[in-house]
Amino acid sequence: MATHIAPLRKLWALHVLDGNDIHLSLKELYEKLSNGKSGCYWELFEVYKHLRSLGYVVGRHGIPWSVKGQHIKSGTCSLEGSQESNEMLEMEPKDENSVIELFNNMQITDVSPAFNVYLPNSKFRKSSPGDPSFVLYISRCSPPSRVEIEALERKHGAIPFKFCHVENGRVSFFSFAKTELPVLS
């Protein structure tokens, strides 16, 4: 599934094409996003949409940029902004449940690395993306503890990381950074 996003600031519309270049209705899109097995979650989509509409380059952490010719199994989801992408999202059988109920079933309970984000206007190329400007974690439960932050700092080294909190359609980004105030004279 390739996602082509129209200028969201003006239109707030999302045109979604599936592997067969058929427009999906909003209901179908939401149903796909609600399906936990595909690995796509509603909050991930909200964050992705938010950053993409502002021009950031966003890739799913752990998924390579170039997977031409590969068939991705269910359990992964690539939300690249590129129209050249030919990843496919496996469709799961539709439920009879209403769309609203599907929303209620969706949750992210763990803090797990979600996206690699690159600044807009950075000289980004899929063939050699380089290090992301930052790695983004999506949090739903509680803010990270000091111990968690320290572990992430060790894990990511020089690459900054941020936390994103999504609630009520509001997407907020926070940086937690270990510091040490200097000794003054």
Partner 1 sequence: MKPRWKGKGSQAKANADPMSKIVSQLQSSLIQSETRGLLSSCSVLVEVDAELADLLNRSCFGRPRITAQEDKQWFQLDMEEAFYLCFSLKCLKVIGENGYIKSNEELWDYLKSKKPVFPVSYKVYSHLRHKNWVVRSGLQYGVDFVAYCHHPALVHSEYAVLVLSEGDNDLNGRLRVWSDVHCTVRLCGSVAKTLLTVIVNSNNQGANSPSCLEHYTVEEQTITRWNPERSREDQTGPKNGTKKV
Strand duo 112-118 + 134-139: pairing:
antiparallel
**Closest separation in Å from C-beta 21 to partner 1:** 31
Closest CA to 40 of 83, 80, 100, 11: 80
- The nearer residue to partner 1, 127 or 179, going by C-beta atoms, is 179
Query: What is the contact surface with partner 1 in residues (CB under 8 A)?
Result: 50-51, 54-56, 119-122, 133-134, 139, 142-143, 145-147, 149, 160, 162, 165, 167, 172-185
From residue 143, alpha-carbon distances to 61, 86, 176 in Å are 20, 36, 10
**Closest separation in Å from C-beta 1 to partner 1:** 24
- The nearer residue to partner 1, 19 or 55, going by C-beta atoms, is 55
**Closest separation in Å from C-beta 51 to partner 1:** 6
- The nearer residue to partner 1, 37 or 154, going by C-beta atoms, is 154
**Closest separation in Å from C-beta 180 to partner 1:** 6
Quick one: CA dihedral 159, 165, 170, 175, positive or negative? negative
Place of tokens 């209705």: 25
Greatest Cα-to-Cα distance within the chain, rounded to the nearest angstrom:
70
**Quick check: 65 and 87 in contact, CB under 8 A?**
no
- The nearer residue to partner 1, 19 or 120, going by C-beta atoms, is 120
What type of residue is 73?
K
- The nearer residue to partner 1, 16 or 164, going by C-beta atoms, is 164
Residues forming a β-bridge with 135: 116, 161
Neighbours of 146 (CB within 10 A): 9
**Closest separation in Å from C-beta 79 to partner 1:** 17
